[in-house]
Amino acid sequence: MAPHSPDRPAPTLGVIVPAYNEAATIGQILGRVLYQPCVQQVVVVDDCSTDDTFRAAQAYASDPRVILKRHPANAGKGAAIRTGLAAITAPIVIIQDADLEYDPVDYAKLIGPIVDGRADVVYGVRGFAGQTAYSYWFVKGNQVVTTFTNILFNCYIQDMETGFKVMRTSLMRRLQLSGKRFNIEPDITGRILRLGYRIHEVPIDYFARSRAEGKKLTWRDGLRALVTLLRVRLASRAQLFGADDGYHRERLAELAAAPRLPVLPGERRIEVKSGSGLPDRPPISSPPPHA
């Protein structure tokens, strides 16, 4: 097998690992992440855990791909993602939760459409069938939030709340994310859709954990997700991305590069200029021209 065949892509992926009180699992997940050939960089952000999460992560600090960050106070998942993003230098980025629900073995198929130029954003779609850790209402709540996203942004995605969101690092920085806690997920999706990007989806393996095993999401996070989506949809582009987010420059560049129709023999080229659109005539006060 070639060193960087489709099954073994070149190291191009930066992994952000936000962690809060995940001492029991963070060592296992980092071992799995670093085993993936496509991983170029891993930024672990401990969000002021009260257990030994940071100490467990330090066991991997000798790997040159690993960067460790620690918040002095608990600021939320969104803040941890922004801290991690600031340290990423790899061209593609993914968010990896520190629990064992998402398997890094899926990285290769997630980044494939981006590496091949078929997509700018890829989401991993979870399968809830056979997942006994989640209640009926949790699954239905996820479906409601996803349906609300599709209606609000006139799109079709299957799993808005998935933790596996992959995109070019430059695009994630352009989003100028503001979500502080779990509302970072709808904040990311809403801003991507506001910029006009379509989300490519691939199925992934998913291993749900129960609340007793450390699941932190509640029904309140579902309500916050709906509010965040609505806020992003109603905000102006300037409010979301700044007065100049590069959108118009990109559109003008696309128009400039677009092919133009040739002028065929016997046809005239029409020059479009500002003005009344009427033929040029002498001023009304001017005397008529001599015959």
Q: Per the domain annotation, does 31 fall within a domain?
A: yes
Q: Per the domain annotation, does 247 fall within a domain?
A: no
Buried b (16+ CB within 10 A) or exposed e, 257-266: eeeeeeeeee
Q: Per the domain annotation, does 3 fall within a domain?
A: no
In whole angstroms, give the CA distance from residue 186 to residue 179. 8
Percent of the chain that is helix, strand, coil (3-state, to 5): 35, 15, 50
Per-residue pLDDT of the chain (291 residues; tens, 9 = 90+): 444 555 555 779 999 999 999 999 999 999 999 999 999 999 999 999 999 999 999 999 999 999 999 999 999 998 999 999 999 999 999 999 998 889 999 999 999 999 999 999 999 998 755 555 556 666 777 788 899 989 999 999 998 889 899 999 999 999 998 777 667 888 999 999 999 998 999 999 887 654 444 445 665 767 888 888 999 899 888 888 876 555 555 555 655 665 665 555 565 544 444 454 445 555 555 555 554
| Total number of domains constituting the chain | 1
pLDDT of residue 137: 60
Q: CATH number of the domain that 73 lies in? A: 3.90.550.10
Q: How far apart are the first and last CA of the chain?
A: 88
Q: Per the domain annotation, does 131 fall within a domain?
A: yes
Q: How far is CA 187 from CA 86, 174, 203, in A?
A: 17, 13, 22
Q: Per the domain annotation, does 286 fall within a domain?
A: no
Q: Per the domain annotation, does 291 fall within a domain?
A: no
Q: Per the domain annotation, does 151 fall within a domain?
A: yes
Q: Per the domain annotation, does 7 fall within a domain?
A: no
Residue-number span of the structural domain to which 110 is assigned: 13-241
